[in-house]
Chains A and B, each alone.
Chain A
């Protein structure tokens, strides 16, 4: 902090101080990716909101969605975001044991979330309410399915990171990847807030 104030007083511009550290560059770049991912989701949200009434005579949200199940899903994902935060504290300390433990907790909660979602999707499809039934269901499966695909990718990434910690330890390269992985997981939860509010709680009863 004293350095920064000196810089301001000395009139040295940030660009004269040289490039930022790779960790900051990687973190900022990944932040930009996450924001663009959220822009993509916002288009799916807009499509869903526009089409949510277009059921083509088929089942609507009030008949298809189970709020109790969504509450459990939300609890799993929210808790996994918390354990992911504890995971990031563990790897900042370069503590392998707690990194594995919180990684395992995050992974299991993510698997629980994804399993409930798969059960929901297969149940809907077996009732004849698949993505091809109506515009409403196409938009639903696109939005919620895209989020679920992100969770699946995040789970694979988490396993890969645990393997890298096991084989490589905590060099700066692995630390950067762990940082991006935990940011990705937190971003999934932010998108899910939008999903449960707009999709599951937004239906008229």
Chain B
């Protein structure tokens, strides 16, 4: 992109490429995303993978696809001109992780400590 856009050491806005962009990047991202999506749908119904490991596999594929979207569609990277974007993303991921894993941990723990329904009924009599 033009030199005067890059003056005053500007940060890069998310979703913008310095060189004006290249459709091949989007195509690579799209092909990778399609492959990962199809792998997810395949993994969910196959018997070739040990069944208890399927949720882990699905999680890995989903996180990989989110990464593909961030890199090829949002053009997020750890380059010096987008430290702010990257740090905001890192903080967002921290909060998402706390909310999701914190909730699941607490709720599983509460479930495990809850009295079985049958005994609860008996006590109320």
A residues bordering B, Cβ < 8 Å?
1, 3-4, 7, 14, 17-18, 20-21, 23-24, 26-28, 30-32, 35-36, 38-39, 42-43, 45-47, 49-50, 67, 71, 74-75, 78-79, 81-82, 85-86, 88-89, 92-93, 179, 182-183, 186, 189-190, 193-194, 196-197, 201-202, 205
Contact = CB atoms under 8 A, between A and B. Distances in A.
B13 A46 contact: no
B61 A197 contact: yes
A27 B45 CA distance: 40
Contacts of A71: 41
B13 A201 contact: no
B96 A31 contact: no
Contact of A46 (B21, B40, B92, B99): B99
A183 B13 CA distance: 10
Interface of B: 3, 5-16, 20-23, 26-27, 29-30, 33-34, 37, 40-41, 43-45, 55, 58-59, 61-62, 65-66, 69-70, 72-74, 80-81, 84-85, 88-89, 91-92, 95-96, 99-100, 102-104, 107
Contact of A26 (B13, B33, B58, B96): B13
A58 B59 CA distance: 27
B95 A39 contact: yes
A202 B85 contact: no
Nearest to B43: A201
A110 to B, nearest CB: 15
B11 A28 contact: yes
A38 B40 contact: no
Contacts of A50: 103-104, 107
Most buried by A among B66, B72, B81, B104: B66
Contacts of B55: 202
A107 to B, nearest CB: 18
Given A20-B11, A38-B96, 20 more contacts: A21-B5, A24-B10, A27-B14, A27-B15, A28-B88, A35-B89, A39-B99, A49-B103, A74-B37, A75-B37, A82-B29, A85-B72, A85-B73, A88-B21, A179-B13, A186-B73, A196-B37, A196-B40, A202-B55, A205-B45
